[in-house]
Amino acid sequence: MSWLESLKTDTPEEGYELAILLSRMAVKKMQPDDDVRSRLRGVYANDADSLTMASQVVAINFQTIAQANKFWLDVS
């Protein structure tokens, strides 16, 4: 079974949590070494530009999830 079964969520809040998960998984897949990620975390955690860029990635992922969920509206 895949770690990502669907982009469908019941609520926008669940969609936002999924956006964070997608963003974190992208980093983990690009840098699979746990030790390297741990060492780098201290660098970007204290860099406002890095945190802003990370927020942008989450926002882009959230847009994708919102569209997949038709913005949580029933369009019948």
Q: Which structural domain, as residue segments, surrounds residue 64?
A: 12-70
Distance CA 16, CA 63 (A): 9
Per-residue pLDDT tens digits for 15-65:
999 999 999 999 999 999 999 999 999 999 999 999 999 999 999 999 999
Number of domains in the chain: 1
The number of C-alpha atoms within 13 Å of 33 and in the hemisphere containing its C-beta is: 4
Confidence of residue 71 (pLDDT cuts 50, 70, 90): confident
> Which residue, among 65, 67, 70, has the nearest Cα to 23 in the 3D structure?
65
**Which amino acid would we find at residue 32?**
P
Residue 74 has pLDDT above 90, yes or no: no
Residue 75: predicted pLDDT: 56
- 75 inside domain: no
Long-range CB contacts (within 8 A, 24+) of 71-74: 72/11, 72/12, 72/15
Residue 14: predicted pLDDT: 97
Residue 2: predicted pLDDT: 84
